[in-house]
């Protein structure tokens, strides 16, 4: 099967501010050619009113938490919110996780996202949803508690997740110790050992709130990143969610490790009053900064289009200069930087020959996109989820003219309602 996208405004994300009018040929799931392409294909798409760019990478989320969307929204801060959420999570069953994951994937696809890094429980159900929907995911084996509990999770959960993955090259399993306030030092050490043994990555929440920082200083005599460094966590590739309150020395230390990425979650950090991550400073230090939605219970949606816009606006106002949010830099966070954070940049994140055809087509033929002028600026500041027209993942069409192709939206919505009603009765 071959697909030819003709005459699109292409933002390849291979070079600062580059955009060009041209064609994209997709063959066998990969980008076969870019430029002026003669001849036809099995399918030809008129891209004359479209912006084509790499599909987005959501580098940190908790996809089944769509179940708790719009639930307990006025807690004082993160810890009080978690005290409301943890009891609900203790009730979750396989079917809840499966349908929550499926609805979440549908929402992400509709916002141009085809790859997500997930940290949640019973991930064999999320793996099943990923395979059925044609998306791409890095699933975190979520770790809580002490070393014995962690050994149990590795022993019992890894085989179940791998069985559900069924050898798919679209899913990878990483170690995901939740946070320093829910995991012991032994848990982090075991996670590092497992990550080294399997050649994978490690994900964790880090320095999300000042409470976390102050508690770490009290309990460990060190700030959170310093504490994890003392445990050897940064000897393996890591993608670290939030990092709102890193000190200058912590940020410099992380930059010196070279295989560390930060995942910026602007909507969640604002909604939970966690603070504003100094993203501009991190980028200037050479840290790879990617973008994530966090879960729909603390966002309250999974729209990467919204996150892109908020990341830009928040960077501008926190630095008091529009130059702090150049559109290319923001789009990099949502595409190639996200791919780098997850170790997938050889496969996705840019529109280049030989890479997997993970591509989003954004319709510019609408009032909010006219006149186009600067395509990069248009995506960051003007575009909305409604402008997402067509989405490919490894050449497979997951969305066409705004309609989901691999997910029955009504079925996912109905079953999510059913699961949530059941949870509330348990």
Confirm if 250 and 227 have CB atoms less than 8 A apart: no
The arithmetic mean of pLDDT across residues 234-242, rounded, is: 98
**pLDDT confidence tier of residue 396, bands split at 50, 70 and 90:** very high
Which pTM was predicted? 0.97
pLDDT computed for residue 78 by the predictor:
79
Q: Which of 121, 117, 112, 131 is nearest to 67 (CA)?
A: 121
> Which tokens hold the place of 19?
């955009």
Confidence class for position 61, pLDDT limits 50, 70, 90: very high
Mean per-residue pLDDT of the chain: 96
| Per-residue pLDDT tens digits for 163-175 | 999 999 999 999 9
The C-alpha atoms of residue 347 and residue 359 are separated, in whole angstroms, by: 12
Residue 343: how many CB atoms within 10 A of its CB?
18
Give the per-residue pLDDT at 367: 97
Q: Which band of pLDDT confidence, cut at 50, 70 and 90, is reported for residue 154?
A: very high
The confidence score (pLDDT) of residue 47 equals: 98
| Mean pLDDT on 73-78 | 80
44, 101 contact by CB (below 8 A) = no
Give the chain's end-to-end CA distance (angstroms, integer).
48
Predicted confidence (pLDDT) per residue in 5-20, tens digit: 999 999 999 999 999 9
Quote the pLDDT of residue 76: 78
- Measure Cα distances from 136 to 108, 132, 424 in Å: 11, 11, 31
Provide the pLDDT for residue 39. 84
HEC profile of the chain: CEEEEEEEEECCCCCCCCCEEEEEEEECCEEEEEECCCCCCCEEEECCCEEEEECEEEEEECHHHHHHCCCCCCCCCHHHHHHHHHHHHCCCCHHHHHHHHHHHHHHHHHCCEEEEEEEECCHHHHHHHHHHHCCEEEEEEEECECHHHHHHHHHHHHHHHHHHHCCCCCEEEEEEECCCCCECHHHHHHHHHHHHHHCCCEEEEECCCHHHHHHHHHHHCCCHHHHHHHCCHHHCCEEEEECCCCCHHHHHHHHHHCCEEEEECHHHHHHCCCCCCCHHHHHHCCCEEEECCCCCCCCCCCCHHHHHHHHHHHHHHHHCCHHHHCHHHHHHHHCHHHHHHCCCCCCCCCCCCCCECCEEEEECCCHHHCCCCCHHHHHHHHCCHHHEEEEEECCEEEEECCEECCCCHHHHHHHHHHHHHHHHHC
pLDDT in the model for residue 160: 97
pLDDT tens digits, one per residue of 78-93: 788 888 888 888 999 9
Query: For residue 262, which phi and psi values (nearest 5 degrees)?
Result: -105, 140
398 phi, psi to nearest 5 deg: -95, -20
Q: Which domains does the chain have, with CATH numbers?
A: 2-54+350-404 (2.30.40.10), 56-341 (3.20.20.140)
Average pLDDT score over residue span 33-55: 96
The answer to whether residue 44 scores a pLDDT higher than 90 is: yes
pLDDT over 90 at 335, yes or no: yes
Q: Which two tokens stand for residue 280?
A: 């501009």
406: tokens are: 């691999």
Strands 388-393 vs 396-400: parallel, antiparallel or unpaired: antiparallel
21 has pLDDT over 90: yes
Q: Is the pLDDT of residue 416 over 90?
A: yes
**pLDDT reported for residue 1:** 87
Q: Residue 305 CA to chain centroid, in angstroms?
A: 12
The string of pLDDT tens digits covering residues 344-363 is: 999 999 999 999 999 999 99
5-31 core/surface letters (b: 16 or more CB in 10 A; e: else): bbebbbbbbeeeeebeebbbbbbeebb
């Amino acid at each position: 099967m071959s697909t030819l996208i003709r005459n699109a405004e292409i933002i390849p994300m291979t070079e600062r501010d580059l955009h060009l009018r041209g064609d994209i040929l997709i063959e066998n799931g990969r980008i076969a050619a870019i430029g002026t392409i003669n001849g036809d294909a099995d399918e030809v798409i008129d891209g004359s009113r479209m912006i084509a760019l790499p599909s987005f990478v959501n580098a940190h989320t908790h996809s089944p938490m769509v179940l708790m969307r719009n639930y307990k929204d006025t807690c004082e801060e993160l810890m009080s919110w978690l005290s409301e959420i943890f009891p609900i999570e203790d009730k979750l069953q396989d079917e809840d996780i499966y349908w929550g994951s499926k609805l979440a994937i549908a929402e992400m696809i509709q916002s141009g996202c085809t790859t997500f890094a997930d940290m949640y429980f019973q991930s064999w159900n999320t793996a099943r949803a990923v395979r059925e929907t044609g998306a791409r995911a890095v699933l975190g084996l979520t770790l809580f508690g002490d070393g014995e509990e962690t050994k149990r999770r590795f022993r019992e959960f890894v085989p179940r997740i791998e069985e559900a993955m069924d050898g798919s090259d679209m899913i990878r399993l990483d170690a995901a110790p939740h946070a320093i306030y829910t995991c012991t030092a032994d848990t982090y050490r075991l996670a590092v050992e497992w990550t080294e043994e399997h050649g994978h990555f490690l994900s964790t929440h880090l320095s999300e709130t000042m409470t976390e920082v102050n508690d770490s200083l009290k309990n460990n005599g060190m700030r959170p990143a310093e504490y994890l460094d003392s445990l050897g966590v940064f000897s393996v590739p890591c993608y670290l969610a939030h990092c709102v309150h890193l000190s200058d020395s912590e940020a410099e230390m992380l930059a010196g490790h070279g295989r560390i990425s930060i995942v910026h979650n602007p909507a969640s950090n604002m909604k939970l009053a966690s603070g504003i991550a100094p993203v501009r400073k991190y980028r200037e230090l050479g840290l790879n900064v990617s973008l994530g939605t966090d879960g729909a219970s603390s966002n309250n949606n999974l729209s990467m289009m919204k996150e892109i816009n908020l990341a830009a606006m928040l960077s501008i106002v926190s630095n008091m200069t529009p130059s702090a949010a150049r559109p290319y830099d923001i789009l990099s966070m949502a595409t190639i930087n996200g791919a780098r954070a997850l170790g997938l940049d050889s496969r996705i994140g840019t529109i280049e020959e030989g890479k997997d055809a993970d591509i989003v087509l954004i319709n510019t033929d609408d009032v909010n996109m006219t006149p186009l002028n600067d395509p990069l600026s248009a995506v960051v500041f003007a575009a909305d989820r409604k402008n997402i027209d067509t989405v490919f993942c490894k050449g497979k069409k997951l969305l066409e003219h705004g309609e989901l192709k691999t997910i029955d939206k009504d079925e996912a919505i109905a079953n999510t309602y059913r699961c949530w009603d059941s949870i509330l009765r348990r």
